[in-house]
Structure 1
Amino acid sequence: MLKVGDKAPDFSLKSTNGSTFRLSEQRGKKSIVLYFYPKDDTPGCTAEACSFRDQYEDFKDLGAEVVGVSSDSEQSHQKFAGKHRLPFELLADADGQVRKLYEVPRALLGLLPGRVTFVIDKNGIIQYVFNSLSGATDHVRNAKQVLQGLPA
């Protein structure tokens, strides 16, 4: 898996709003909290997304954008984001290429896509990696703490 100090690989994926999100377009502008999650509308993923939603303004105040990635379709993401009023983008990685690019491991004996959060600074360098399937809301708390320690 990628680690702290590595350059975050560039990618582009379709977003819930129909646009294409490109990581490289964020460089120099803001930090990115890139979180990979298993599936829309499952209990742990919903708790994680709603925790990011509830603290979204804190992330913006820290100069960061939150971006979620799963293999669900754009339509699934739109439904999930609408149902839970998510203010951030969800990206459709249908073929799992970005998950592979970030070397996100599978969980539960390889049965589920893993839950991993990366904090990427404005320069595109990974500052934090957290891999935990069960600690869904811990991803939010930990990412926020890391951002608080980064230069503005």
Structure 2
Amino acid sequence: MQNNNEAHRDDITIGEESTAQYVRPALKTGHTIPDFRLMSVEGAAISPTDYKGRKNLVIIFFDAHSSSDLVMLSLVGRRYQEIADDNAEVLAISVGPIDELQTCAADFHFQFPLLSDMHSQAACSYCVVGSMIFVADKFGELKMQSDISEANIDEKLDKALSALELIELECPECGVSTWPVE
């Protein structure tokens, strides 16, 4: 027969194991970003590896139901050319069905892909809490990550642009990250 202390210890272990599945450490600068393949509002499946060796990435997680996040994303759209001038592409990701994003795309006409993370897999692998921005070089190395909001988007975009400019000045032969092989 099991005594109360042993039963209690098992309960704690079970609780810790279930928590470990959901609590993840944040991504670390200098590490390779997680890969994903998500559907865009145009119907294309898009992955960071599609840009490997060609473009740096600015990955933005946002809430398509939040009016302040949509304003924030429109500010990103206004500065899109600055980002593109630094050899980068924006991938905007929202958790939820593609039809909600199609409405958003029709209303705002963004120049960058809007991606649906229907099952929160990308958000989970990036340890996203709220709206966030990630900058990665063309080899998948994470250079910057931060929370973002309508109030701080210009400041965060300035930091992202600085990171992109630095990426373009770096020597890739001095230490190229490797992307995951599937």
Name the CA distance, whole Å, in 2 between partners of 1:67 and 1:136. Answer: 19
CA distance in 1, matches of 2:71, 2:133: 15
Give the number of the structure with larger relative contact order, counting CA–CA contacts within 8 Å between residues 6 or more apart: 1
More helix per residue: 2
Match of 1:19 among 32, 44, 48: 44
Q: Does 1:82 align with 2:106?
A: yes
**In 2 relative to 1, CA 19–76 (structure 1 residues): closer, same or farther, beyond 3 Å?**
same
- Partner Cα distance (1:90, 1:74) in 2: 9
SS at match of 1:150: helix
| Aligned pair partner of 2:158 in 134, 138, 141 | 141
Correspondence 1:122 to 2:138: yes
The letter for the 2-side match of 1:66 is: V
Question: 2:55 corresponds to which residue?
Answer: 30
- TM-score normalized by the length of structure 1: 0.86
Residue 80 (structure 2) pairs with residue 63 (structure 1): no
Q: List per-residue Cα deviations over 1:26-59 (Å, max 9, x = no partner).
A: 110100100111x215222112111111011111
Shift of 1:25: 1.6
Structure 1 position 72 matched with structure 2 position 88: no
**Residue number in structure 2 paired with 1:96:** 120
Structure 1 unaligned blocks of 5 or more: 106-113
- Range with greater deviation from structure 2 (95-104 or 141-150): 141-150
**Distance in 1 (alpha carbons) for counterparts of 2:148 and 2:81:** 24
Q: Contact 1:68/1:91 (CA < 8 Å) preserved in 2?
A: yes
Tell me the TM-score normalized by structure 2: 0.73
Cα distance in 2 for residues equivalent to 1:132 and 1:49: 10
Extract unaligned runs of 5+ from structure 2. Answer: 1-25, 170-182
Structure number with the higher strand fraction is 1
Percent identity between the two aligned chains: 25
Q: Give per-residue Cα distances to partners, 1:13-34, cap 9 Å, x unaligned.
A: 0011100001112110100100
Residues 67-109 of structure 1: CA deviation (Å, up to 9, x unaligned): 111113211111111211211111111111111111113xxxx
User: What is the deviation of 1:140?
Assistant: 2.5
